[in-house]
Amino acid sequence: MNGLQLIATGGALPERTVTNEDLSRMVDTSDEWITTRTGIRTRHYCGDAENAATLAISAARQALERSGLAPEDIACCVCATLSAPDATPSVACQVQRALHLPEGCPALDVNAACSGFVYGAAVARGLLATLGGAYALVIGCEALSRLIDPADRSTCVLFGDGAGAAVFALSDEDAPFAVTLGARGDDAIHAGGPDRKGSAPITMDGKAVFRFAVDALPRSLNKILQETGLTLDDLDWVVCHQANSRIIDHCVKHLNADASKFYKNMDRHGNTSAASIPVALNELAETGKLKPGQKVACVGFGGGLTWGGILFGYKGD
């Protein structure tokens, strides 16, 4: 069972959409600045009744339904988030309860910021290999609108809310698998926890993080390709963390790659940290662009600092 297969996906986005024009009425910014520097046009913000856990439950429910599996088939539930509404129960435990996953199914949250989904998928695969079981539910969810300073134009224009979920299976069929993960403790991206009494919104040294990202992204991608003996030509999709269109463009150019394989949706959702990769995977699957048998690489980078890449096959639901 050396391979990893994506079986089904789900997604959930808050109804409220915030445009660049909306933000330009709140801070000194413009649609032109935001689109040129980031590629972002709109993002979603949670309403009063929504949070990272409610979005996670909706996305996970959809992925489980589409997988055709029963709740008892799920052997572990891992949720990646940095904006959980509660310290405990974790979002993963809230999903476990809502979806009636079996009590023997370990459920835990992982915080690796924007690399969270890749870390979460790696943790889930490790749990399946260690504890046994065939299927894992992996979720990325965020309510970053609750962590931003709405008066800080350098960050408030970037982030949005959302959730994506994926059911993965260990596979001995033709599915590939490789993973790389890394971390370098650094405050370049910071958001306060309970000790900060809720008064430390997200701050980011954008230029330093940009330099880090354009190095970490191709390095992680090359590492998982080397491990599998595959080349970029063998991949059907590369799903990167959706922080900034220019970071992906830079990577495509550096690798002399086919830009059409690098999925982008930050124009509609902004940067949703741990949710960005599974939201993108779900869009690819829902629109039929992701086809059974295809090979996918996902690459995350961001707060921590953390980075990671994972390569798997798509079975399809």
Residues engaged in binding ligand UT7 (CB under 6 A): 29, 33-34, 37-38, 114, 153-154, 157, 189, 206-207, 209-210, 213, 243-244, 247, 271, 273, 302-303
Question: Rounded to the nearest whole angstrom, what is the least distance from the CB of residue 37 to ligand UT7 in the complex?
Answer: 4
Burial environment of residue 184 by CB neighbours within 10 A (0 to 12, 13 to 18, 19 or more): exposed
**Cβ 51 to ligand UT7 shortest distance, Å:** 20
Collapsed DSSP state (helix, strand, coil) of residue 208: helix
Q: Of 57 and 243, which CB lies nearer to ligand UT7 in the complex structure? A: 243
Cβ distance to ligand UT7 smaller for residue 154 or 265: 154
Is there a contact between 236 and 216 (Cβ–Cβ < 8 Å)?
no
Specify whether 241 is catalytic: yes
* Contact between 139 and 133 (Cβ < 8 Å): no
Active-site residue, selected from the candidate residues 20, 51, 244, 271: 271
Closer to ligand UT7 by CB, 137 or 216: give it. 216
C-beta neighbour count of 198 within 10 angstroms? 10
CB 314 → ligand UT7: shortest distance, Å? 25
| 114 assigned to active site | yes
282 is catalytic: no
User: Of 76, 93, 241, 251, which residue is the catalytic one?
Assistant: 241
In the complex with ligand UT7, the residue whose CB is nearer, 101 or 209, is 209
- Reported in sequence order, the residue ranges of the chain that DSSP labels E, i.e. its strands, are 3-12, 16-19, 42-45, 74-80, 107-110, 135-143, 161-171, 178-186, 189-190, 203-204, 237-240, 262-263, 295-302, 304-314
Q: Say which of 105, 114, 141, 298 is annotated catalytic.
A: 114
Least gap, CB of 243 to ligand UT7 (angstroms): 4
Task: Please give the distance of CA 59 from its chain centroid, rounded to a whole number.
Answer: 12
User: So which residues are the catalytic ones?
Assistant: 114, 241, 271
